Each structure stands twice: as C-alpha cells, then as structure tokens.
Amino acid sequence: MKKISLISVYNNQQLLDEMVASAKKQKNVEVELITIDNRNKRFSSASQALNYGTDKATGDVLVYLHQDIEFMSDDVLEFIYDYAVENKTTVFGSAGVND
C-alpha cells in the first residue's frame, strides 16, 4: 500500500480538524497524520517543529502542510504520492486559495 505522511504544525484546532477530515477521505493511499500542537509555543520556529514531525514519520512520501489545507478531491494524495515516487530528485510545493 502507498503510504504518505502528512506533517502539520497547528495552533488552531478547528482548522486542523477540517484538514484531517478531508485527509481521511483519501482513497488508494494509507495516510499517516502527524500533527504538532504548537499552541503553547513549544517550538521556537516552524523548522524545529517540522523536523520534530519528520523524525516521527514512517511514510514513503512526506508532505508538509498548513493546518488550513483542504483536499478537494479524494484522490489528490494518491496523485502526489505517485508524482513524488516517479520524480525522486524533485522537491515540489503548491499553494492555493478558495474561490
């Protein structure tokens, strides 16, 4: 099974819950959710928090995302997984807005 780790630092539980709900709808991939609570300012920087999450990840592909991401289709993580595996030397990112 394709395994993808989603690593997210959050400070807003409601936004995180919405992202997690959309991640749980994904098909054809095993999703590992690594959420890092930084509401108490445990980490002094985003990189420190993300490195902490990276150490916990067991997926074949790691995706770092903000808490306010929503997956609009149920196969987007499969697409990201396949692309990352086929392009191992590539680092890629995306950003978007809701219309």
pLDDT in tens, 32-56: 999 999 999 999 998 899 999 999 9
Spatial strand order of the sheet with 30-37 comes to 30-37, 3-10, 61-64
* Segment 79-96, tens digit of pLDDT: 999 999 999 876 666 655
List phi, psi (to 5°) of 18.
-65, -40
Residue 9 to residues 49, 68, 85: CA-CA distances in angstroms?
7, 11, 24
